Structure 1
Amino acid sequence: MSDHTYGFDTLQIHAGARPDPATGARQTPIYQTTAYVFRDADHAAALFNLQEVGYIYSRLTNPTVAVLQERIATLEGGVGAVCCSSGHAAQIMALFPLMGPGKNIVASTRLYGGTVTQFSQTIKRFGWECKFVDFDDLDAVKAAIDDDTRAVFGEAIANPGGYIMDVRAIADIADAAEIPLIIDNTSATPYLCRPIEHGATLVVHSTTKYLTGNGTVTGGCVVDSGKFDWSANDKFPSLSQPEPAYHGLKFHETFGNLAYTFHGIAIGLRDLGMTMNPQAAHYTLMGIETLSLRMDRHVENARKVAEWLEKDDRIEKVTYAGLKSSPYYDRVKKVCPRGAGALFTISVKGGYEACVKLVNALEIFSHVANLGDARSLVIHSASTTHRQLSAEQQEAAGAGPNVVRLSIGIEDADDLIADLDQALSKASS
């Protein structure tokens, strides 16, 4: 595309995509292939030696996936991206070039339950550690960072409560410590929040959610801002020091601001194998074409439903940041100027049993372990997505036993309110 500055609505349709050179196909084809024919032996050698960019094997690169990577990177304002098989895969992919045995990350207490489990349990098997801190307590974040900390991790709009993170404030702390800030932007999408503009180094997504928007395929993505100096100190040897697998090549010295992205493909996907398949990339590309339209409706519906719930005496609390009563209301304007998203929780009077009755009585809302679908979704986090956490961790994450998470879809808001009304009547009877 030309040097003209295009708007979001244009980029979500066109970024990274061009008519297929072989057929003229306007929609990006699904390149359902495992391997690619080399021009000759020299061409193959150059590709394997990272001297030339191209396609070798679909565990590493695929033309359909490449379009998606460029589109998400463009929408996020990054220099490059690496797509992979799921949001959880994206988190490991994001950390992989940064970490080593004995190193740690500092993460928000307000994270998706599966992420808390991954960071508190699974990454220990790599010799990594995680310190969980309330990111509203900036002094605590500063105090948690030590000489072995290699990244700070948080969610722009936290799952499940919809809390808004002060990305700039946390980015300033990470910058002072000379370590990257990684932001999970799944719940916000680049339409509502662009973390790189607020100082984030890396952005991760579960593309399964709003980016695809139709509940059909899983996927993940890591976006690189290209703004971090990986050679400023000796904390990131995978990027700044010679790589034995490539005859001593130094990624940052060789690839500059694309060092992290190239490492993600040449090392991360090569050795971890968390590959996104081309059909999943195709579905996600089609979903992104309507992202702004859907997010506007998601936000509009969420505000209407949250305002109705806040006035209902069967509800103790609504956590939606778009409500004027929310402590995060003013932060929304700064971090997510187009709206507070469509994910939030409600505390139901009657506790655990009332939550179970509510979930079972809903008719339009689907009871599923997902969010960001065009359909409205509901789940009782304490017994499902956050079940593996301790009671203290559940409360810190905003997923206590009396809490239900709502992901508001793009249906008619009045129908959603009517469904909640009848279900609450049954839950409180």
Structure 2
Amino acid sequence: MSDKQGFDTLAIHAGAAADPATGARQVPIYQTTAYAFRDADHAARLFNLQEVGYIYSRLTNPTVSALQARIAALEGGAGAVCCSSGHAAQIMALFPLMAPGRNIVASTRLYGGTVTQFSQTIRRFGWSATFVDFDDPDALRAAINEDTRAIFCESISNPGGYVTDIPAVAAIADAAGIPLIVDNTLATPWLCRPIEMGATLVVHSLTKYMTGNGTVTGGVVVDSGKFDWSASDRFPSLSAPEPAYHGLVFHQTFGALAFTFHGIAVGLRDLGMTMNPQGAHYTLMGIETLGLRMERHVANALAVARWLENDPRVEYVTYAGLESSPWNATAKRLYPRGAGALFTFAVKGGYETAVKVVGALKLFSHVANLGDARSLVIHSASTTHRQLTEAQQRAAGAAPEILRLSVGLEDVADLIADLDQALAAATA
């Protein structure tokens, strides 16, 4: 398939053709652990990375490979590596870049679990993170030092739905000679293609909009293929000899696919964060309707946000698609198809009223997920961001009075009616 074809064509066809053995038109679920080698020489070439093929499903699987090719095409990347979850994808993205004593600079506006992963968990590897407001370019530049190995942000942030000026951040990363990693989960490539804006790597939680039906977990790292890993000695995993492969140098050997091959041959081999083929199959089917779904998600979200903004029981709404949002101009410039379908609103009455609203909703499901066909609600301060201090919660857009909505595909009049009755019940 050509990446010059339209988005919806690629979403259906990229990475997939009729099965040569059976003629099956949908990608089969290759539910197998291992693959037979033709002979000893064939096996040796595969293990030496001298030939591309299938060895063991912790590393490669035909169903997962089809999904990787499809996502790479949609994001405009050179290659992609799928893994078990969005959190796994973040570690997979950092793994070839980091070493003890190295750091990343991350946005303050991140999913609460990511804040915890970066502020707590990665410290056990000897890595660290500095959190900065990415709307302040001077602060971002000042946070980068000689040990910084990546910049990390979300294209559209969870939970507030704020949009990031990716080209501006990418310019800072380029000037520093370090890669920019963008979590594109909330935007999806239908709304935003970070690689075209200067990102080096793109990660997704495929659990969300890409699959779209709340059935599986999955993650992916997409490699732009554009970063020169050999321009300095900062990234020895990619630019120096790899002892486990007899001194092979990934960037020298694989060029634009160096990061992708390292992610499979070292990352999946040693970390084992493998995506299962059935999960890949569900995600492939979900992506076929991604463009149609995202268009409806965005239209519904804008209508709900406008209604909430005009409701006297609501303090404010964070949706970047609203004219009143400080991020509206950036959203119009970089995200012309819309500002996504996830945002927050603050209810008058604080924590207690917010919790009552959640309890009174009937159509919105109270779950710790987003990007489903169903509309979802959560009180982030007591759930997804519970582990953070109140100051961190407010910095992340998850203050105690705030509710996060993931607006689904239902009739928008029904969603508004549900919010109306819940606000009435909570403020009676």
Q: TM-score range by the shorter chain?
A: over 0.9
Report Cα offsets for 1:76-96 as digits up to 9, x if no partner: 000000000000000000000
1:22 is paired with a residue of what secondary structure?
coil
What is the letter of the counterpart of residue 424 of structure 2?
Answer: S
Report Cα offsets for 1:159-184 as digits up to 9, x if no partner: 00000000000000000000000000
1:82 is paired with a residue of what secondary structure?
strand
Alignment of 1:269-288 (within 5 A): 269-288=268-287
**Alpha-carbon separation, structure 1, partners of 2:252 and 2:134:** 34
Report Cα offsets for 1:319-338 as digits up to 9, x if no partner: 00000000111111222111
Q: Which residue of structure 2 aligns with residue 82 of structure 1?
A: 81
Q: Which residue of structure 1 aligns with residue 193 of structure 2?
A: 194
Deviation, structure 1 residue 283: 0.2
Q: Is residue 3–residue 74 contact of structure 2 (8 Å, CA) maintained in 1?
A: no
**Alpha-carbon separation, structure 2, partners of 1:354 and 1:176:** 47
Report Cα offsets for 1:261-319 as digits up to 9, x if no partner: 00000000000000000000000000000000000000000000000000000000100
What is the letter of the counterpart of residue 71 of structure 1?
Answer: R
**Alpha-carbon separation, structure 2, partners of 1:58 and 1:74:** 22
Alignment of 1:304-343 (within 5 A): 304-343=303-342
**Alpha-carbon separation, structure 2, partners of 1:4 and 1:425:** 50
**Alpha-carbon separation, structure 1, partners of 2:253 and 2:295:** 42
What is the letter of the counterpart of residue 138 of structure 2?
Answer: D
**Alpha-carbon separation, structure 1, partners of 2:113 and 2:369:** 12
Structure 1 residue 231 and structure 2 residue 243: aligned? no
Alignment of 1:14-25 (within 5 A): 14-25=13-24
Deviation, structure 1 residue 348: 0.5
**Alpha-carbon separation, structure 1, partners of 2:175 and 2:415:** 46
Structure 1 residue 246 and structure 2 residue 233: aligned? no
**Alpha-carbon separation, structure 2, partners of 1:106 and 1:306:** 31
Q: Which residue of structure 2 aligns with residue 290 of structure 1?
A: 289
**Alpha-carbon separation, structure 2, partners of 1:256 and 1:307:** 48
Q: Which residue of structure 2 aligns with residue 399 of structure 1?
A: 398
Alignment of 1:30-49 (within 5 A): 30-49=29-48
89-98 or 331-340: bigger deviation: 331-340
**Alpha-carbon separation, structure 1, partners of 2:5 and 2:30:** 28
Identical positions, percent: 78
**Alpha-carbon separation, structure 2, partners of 1:330 and 1:6:** 29
Structure 1 residue 413 and structure 2 residue 412: aligned? yes
Ranges in structure 2 where 5+ consecutive residues have no aligned partner = none
**Alpha-carbon separation, structure 1, partners of 2:282 and 2:178:** 35
**Alpha-carbon separation, structure 2, partners of 1:352 and 1:271:** 44
**Alpha-carbon separation, structure 2, partners of 1:370 and 1:155:** 17
Q: Which residue of structure 2 aligns with residue 214 of structure 1?
A: 213
What is the letter of the counterpart of residue 113 of structure 2?
Answer: G
Ranges in structure 1 where 5+ consecutive residues have no aligned partner = none
Structure 1 residue 155 and structure 2 residue 134: aligned? no
Deviation, structure 1 residue 4: 8.0
What is the letter of the counterpart of residue 127 of structure 2?
Answer: W
Deviation, structure 1 residue 5: 2.5
Q: Which residue of structure 1 aligns with residue 254 of structure 2?
A: 255
1:204 is paired with a residue of what secondary structure?
strand
2:20 is paired with a residue of what secondary structure?
coil
State how many pairs are aligned.
428
1:309 is paired with a residue of what secondary structure?
helix
What is the letter of the counterpart of residue 309 of structure 2?
Answer: E
2:222 is paired with a residue of what secondary structure?
strand
What is the letter of the counterpart of residue 188 of structure 2?
Answer: T
What is the letter of the counterpart of residue 377 of structure 1?
Answer: L
Q: 1:4 to 1:315 in 2, by over 3 A?
A: closer
Report Cα offsets for 1:381-403 as digits up to 9, x if no partner: 00000000111110000000000
What is the letter of the counterpart of residue 373 of structure 1?
Answer: D
Deviation, structure 1 residue 48: 0.1
Q: Is residue 3–residue 76 contact of structure 2 (8 Å, CA) maintained in 1?
A: no
2:131 is paired with a residue of what secondary structure?
strand
Structure 1 residue 357 and structure 2 residue 356: aligned? yes
Q: Which residue of structure 1 aligns with residue 101 of structure 2?
A: 102
Deviation, structure 1 residue 341: 0.3
**Alpha-carbon separation, structure 2, partners of 1:47 and 1:337:** 44
Deviation, structure 1 residue 219: 0.1
What is the letter of the counterpart of residue 105 of structure 1?
Answer: I
**Alpha-carbon separation, structure 2, partners of 1:312 and 1:97:** 49
Report Cα offsets for 1:186-236 as digits up to 9, x if no partner: 000000000001000000000000000000000000000000000000000
Q: TM-score, normalised to structure 1's length?
A: 0.99
Report Cα offsets for 1:121-140 as digits up to 9, x if no partner: 00000000000000000000
Q: Which residue of structure 1 aligns with residue 382 of structure 2?
A: 383
**Alpha-carbon separation, structure 2, partners of 1:331 and 1:296:** 19
Structure 1 residue 180 and structure 2 residue 179: aligned? yes
Large movers: runs of 4+ above 4 Å:
none
What is the letter of the counterpart of residue 388 of structure 2?
Answer: L
2:97 is paired with a residue of what secondary structure?
coil
**Alpha-carbon separation, structure 2, partners of 1:283 and 1:55:** 21
Q: Which residue of structure 1 aligns with residue 204 of structure 2?
A: 205
Q: Is residue 31–residue 277 contact of structure 2 (8 Å, CA) maintained in 1?
A: yes
**Alpha-carbon separation, structure 2, partners of 1:183 and 1:409:** 24
Q: TM-score, normalised to structure 2's length?
A: 1.00
**Alpha-carbon separation, structure 1, partners of 2:226 and 2:267:** 20
2:138 is paired with a residue of what secondary structure?
helix
**Alpha-carbon separation, structure 2, partners of 1:74 and 1:287:** 16
**Alpha-carbon separation, structure 2, partners of 1:98 and 1:335:** 28
